[in-house]
Amino acid sequence: MPVKSIDHILPMRLFAPLAALSLLSLSVSQMLPTSAYATEPLYLYQDVIGGPYVDDWFISGHRATDAGLILQRQGKSGQWQAPVAVDCAARTLTVTGPGLRFEHSKLSKQQAQADIPTAVVSASIQALCSPQQSSAAQRPPINS
């Protein structure tokens, strides 16, 4: 009797677990609403600096869990970003780590917190704590 090769069985043993994992990840992503895991920057507020000059403020990250939220500014005052956390119950926005100005100048948490206008804090809380209202502010995507 000739001995049959098992080379054709091995790929099937590897394929089945991979196929199951991919189906599982597909079904989990379909259960979450798009806004829950959206990482695209969400427009928050336009701060008028003077004359025709403005700063646009955005927030990005995993908005459903508050994980990895980054507050960003683009405009006349230059690029700025800092990691933040929003407490909906206390209605606060807190800088959680050092920030960056102009993509290379580090800011302490205290400096970054002081740079955030009150209107941006309010807009952030409204956007993240009232999901039905967050789609009202529609702006073009942030230029990365």
Q: What is the pLDDT of residue 62?
A: 76
pLDDT value of residue 25: 45
**Average pLDDT value over all residues in the chain:** 75
Under the banding of pLDDT at 50, 70 and 90, the label for residue 51 is confident
**Are 45 and 119 contacting, i.e. CB atoms less than 8 angstroms apart?**
yes
